Structure 1
Amino acid sequence: MNLTESEIAACSNDFETPFYLYDGDFMEQHYKWLRALTDPAIHFYLSLKANNNLHIVKLFQQWGVGIEVASAGELALALHAGFTADKIIFSGPGKKKSELEFAVGKGIYCIIVESIDELHYIEELAQLENKDVNIAVRINPDQSFGNTAIKMGGVPRQFGIDESMLDSVFDAIGRLRYVKFIGIHVYTGTQNLNADSIIESMKYTVDLGAKIFERYGIVCELINLGGGFGVPYFAHEKPLDIGKITAAVNSYVQHARASLFGQTTFVIESGRFLLAQAAVYVTKVLYRKYSKGEVFIIVDGGMHHHAASTFRGRSIRSNYPMKCIRLQEADWPSEPEKVTIAGPLCTPEDCIGKDIEMPSLYPGDLVYVLNSGAYGLSFSPVHFLGHPTPMEILKREGTHRVIRHRGSAEDLIRNQAALCEI
């Protein structure tokens, strides 16, 4: 990220805090760097759940990335951003029939099926439309692959269909007329900083495609290798060795394409790795106070805008990387001190930083959270306590422009007020 403290401070003068500030130039450089490391046969798909800002999504569409959606709302947003149907895949363990109907009607590239019942729902809808529908099967593999922040495969989970049940899956597919099996999807975990486990998982997925051919005589047109590339948030974490991953996976894919999978599309999904390091979440100090010997800095943003950065639901209470900008120099001291940085909400979970060392902060100073481009606003309980949603600002080629307006007090009652007039 190339955002400077001076431009963050300038934005705080031009726009009301709290806000997200994205570096679009860094996003482009970062993606193109990753693209250059990776075999051209591997296609990148942006996981929309990581950030659903329309303008950011449009940038990735312009750079040729595909998109993975997980709801009818995300599908509608992807289409609005300019993605053509053949660049969209739809995943998720609990798709409603109305969502599947929307996806079938739009003729998207592939629906990732996560249960046998879902196969039958898609068949019914496809029959009504009288069209073939591409599906891939998400497989929960028989083995686990190392430690990830959130394990999503290799253990009992609601995601996908167990590898041991593949006979039943292909038996069901064989009896369907409109459902067209084109491939497989394996996603074993997110926020993974272990290069070896990612490599092992992706190799396993390629090998699984070969086993499916051996057992069922079907060549996968699509092999979705998953992703889960992590970024370091906490002091003890080290950056992921992307070069090691791409070198190994390039080799597996090249070998696969030279043998059985010459026409196969290989996919890597990413949201966090593509976006996280491209943004900051900027808050302003409201109050400085003392409680039982501790210093508390109260800021105007927190869990309702950036839940991932707070201690909500975390068993390990580590602080996201954050910095401050002192704007109120005056005669106030600036010696480093240990403080707790808390947001404005009426819950102790609204804690951005616990026992973190900062220069002395006073009302009007800024605190900003790094690595905030993914799972920020899209992951947060924005209705809690009714505070307005934050503005989002994009830096692109030296200019800053608003890409999401700040919310308003009326947002809390919108879609409800008319119903009260009974």
Structure 2
Amino acid sequence: MEKVIELLHQRMREHRQSDRPLCAFVYDLEHLRRHAARRIDSLPPSCRLFYAVKANSSRPILEALAGIVHGFEVASLGEIEKVRAVAPDIPIIFGGPGKTREEIEGAMRHNVSLIHVESEHELHKVAHIAAARGIQMPVLLRVNLRGPLPQATLAMAGRPTQFGIDEASLPDVIRIARQYESVRIEGFHLHSISNNLDHGQHLHLIDTYLDRLTGWIEQFGLTVTCLNVGGGIGVNYADLGRQFRWNDFAARLGPLLAAKCPPGVTVVFECGRYLTASCGYYAAEVIDLKENHGKKYAVIRGGTHHFRLPASWQHSHPFRIIPREEWAYPYPRMEWTDAAISVVGQLCTPKDVLAQDVPVPRVRIGDIVLFLYAGAYGWAISHHNFLSHPHPEHLYIGEDGQAFAYGGASRAERLG
């Protein structure tokens, strides 16, 4: 974090000259690479770790991960094209409901390794397009299991959702797939929950997946090469010191797979948030302090149109105050000490809230609110152009410790 704060102080000095409030995302790429590499190194040999691009699809993030992860998981043709722009040959797996013909054709054109088939209709569509191209497309059948499944922040299976093939319909879908020469079932995709913080529950989930896989192999006489267990490993935003116990999870995963995973099956993880959240920060200058009906608000330069995650998940996102000593104006600088503040943005809606009633020792107009663990599902899911406010800067600290700004198809500006 020291490198991040140093960079922010540099940008504050530069912004002071133009009298523009600071607002920026900052990413520590060396932290990202180190974090991802350690997770991969600890996995059993039969496992592969793919990065779920939806968490953060910026080019510098993809470039940093391309030489470390085993591949990328994508959910659109646009994401496929972003990956291929930085890694022409890396394995790609393509998931998500409602794939269009254009997307499926594009996936095949870009040589994706696997397509996750989400429905009977999608199976027909993939088979028809593959036949027209004269290829046999490897697929995984995404199954919405009947449960019971562990509890997590979000559930994609074990209940009615738009994701996957109802487990009760699986026999019919497998029968249809076998009628086509243009598709080949390589295995199953069973991503069922999201943001799970309990490593023991996650092991139990994978145990459940292995039982299902073994049963289906016997029931349908399948030769399976891949079990995709999805992502779903979470980030504890409420207590940053108590995260998913990855090392304990990986240590117990090896014996579980040795005991229950069928021979020749590769287990694939698709982690997004868990890989990128901790490398990113959202920094925004306090532009006003105000009190209404006994509640204190710090209004920042920015808001949920930049960093939508807190409002989307309805939590108070963790932050710290970075003091800024300069004050160049003739009028008083407002400040609070030992106050509980709610951090809000500039949008014309009471839902533009990033944190609520958080005690701080001191906050002043002109200080910087630095949100931690902002590297995933922040900018990527936000409604950037609402009210037409300026976009934040996007700053990256490279492996050499040097910073650069990125805002387009190339590295636009070296900093410092």
Under a length normalisation based on structure 1, what TM-score does the superposition of the two structures give? 0.89
* Corresponding residue SS for 2:139: strand
* Corresponding residue SS for 1:135: strand
* Corresponding residue SS for 1:345: coil
Looking at structure 2, the residues matched to 212 and 98 of structure 1 have their Cα atoms a distance apart, in angstroms, of 32
1:369 corresponds in structure 2 to: 371
C-alpha change, 1:83 and 1:12, in structure 2 (3 Å) is farther
Q: Which amino acid aligns with 2:203?
A: I
- Structure 1: where are the runs of 5+ without partners? 407-422
- Structure 2: where are the runs of 5+ without partners? 16-20, 328-332, 410-416
2:414 corresponds in structure 1 to: none
C-alpha change, 1:3 and 1:334, in structure 2 (3 Å) is farther
1:35 corresponds in structure 2 to: 40
1:234 to 226, 233, 238: 238
Question: Are 1:45 and 1:270, in contact at CA under 8 Å, matched by a contact in 2?
Answer: yes
> Which stretch shifts more, 333-342 or 129-138?
333-342
For residues 139-193 of structure 1, what are the alpha-carbon distances to aligned partners after superposition, in whole Å with 9 as ceiling and x for unaligned? 1112132210011111111111122221111111111120111111111111111
2:77 to 69, 72, 81: 72
The 5 A counterparts of 1:66-145 are: 66-84=71-89, 87-145=91-149
Question: Are 1:185 and 1:224, in contact at CA under 8 Å, matched by a contact in 2?
Answer: yes
C-alpha change, 1:404 and 1:59, in structure 2 (3 Å) is same
1:323 corresponds in structure 2 to: 320
Structure 1 runs of 4+ with >6 Å offset: 329-332
1:338 corresponds in structure 2 to: 340
2:155 to 147, 151, 157: 151
For residues 16-67 of structure 1, what are the alpha-carbon distances to aligned partners after superposition, in whole Å with 9 as ceiling and x for unaligned? 7311111111111111221222112211000000001011111111224310
Q: CA RMSD in A?
A: 2.1
1:168 corresponds in structure 2 to: 172
Looking at structure 2, the residues matched to 306 and 236 of structure 1 have their Cα atoms a distance apart, in angstroms, of 18
Q: Which amino acid aligns with 1:268?
A: F
C-alpha change, 1:58 and 1:41, in structure 2 (3 Å) is same
1:119 CA displacement: 0.5
1:362 CA displacement: 2.6
1:266 CA displacement: 1.7
1:382 corresponds in structure 2 to: 384
* Corresponding residue SS for 1:209: helix
* Corresponding residue SS for 1:335: strand
Task: Work out the number of aligned pairs and report it.
Answer: 398
Say whether residues 1:400 and 2:397 are aligned partners.
no
* Corresponding residue SS for 1:134: strand
Looking at structure 1, the residues matched to 254 and 33 of structure 2 have their Cα atoms a distance apart, in angstroms, of 22
* Corresponding residue SS for 2:363: coil
1:293 CA displacement: 2.9
Q: Which amino acid aligns with 1:55?
A: P
Looking at structure 2, the residues matched to 184 and 178 of structure 1 have their Cα atoms a distance apart, in angstroms, of 18
For residues 179-212 of structure 1, what are the alpha-carbon distances to aligned partners after superposition, in whole Å with 9 as ceiling and x for unaligned? 1111111111111112222111112222222222
Under a length normalisation based on structure 2, what TM-score does the superposition of the two structures give? 0.90
Say whether residues 1:297 and 2:294 are aligned partners.
no
1:211 to 207, 215, 237: 215
C-alpha change, 1:83 and 1:265, in structure 2 (3 Å) is farther
Q: Which amino acid aligns with 1:404?
A: G
Q: Which amino acid aligns with 1:323?
A: R
Identical-residue share of aligned pairs (%): 26
